[in-house]
Structure 1
Amino acid sequence: MNQTTNHTLHANHTPHSNKTANAQTNSQVNHDIIKAATPTEQKFYDFYLEEHQNMACRRLHFAGSSFGLLGLAKSVKTRSPKPLLKGIVAGYACAWVGHFFFEKNKPASFKFPLKSFASDFRMYGDVVRGNLSLKDRKFDKSR
Structure 2
Amino acid sequence: MIKLLVVSDSHLDTILLNKVYLKHQNCDYFLHLGDSCLPSYALNNFSSVLGNCDFDNYPLNRTIHTQYGNIFLEHGNNGKYTDINYIKSKNCLIYLYGHTHVKCFKKIDNIYIINPGSLSRPRDDTFGSYAVVTIDENTVDCKFFCVDSL
Asked if Structure 1 and Structure 2 have the same fold, meaning a TM-score greater than 0.5 normalized by the shorter chain, the answer is no
Give the alignment's TM-score, normalised by structure 1. 0.24
Structure with higher helix content? 1
Structure with higher strand content? 2
Give the alignment's TM-score, normalised by structure 2. 0.23
Larger Rg computed on CA atoms:
1
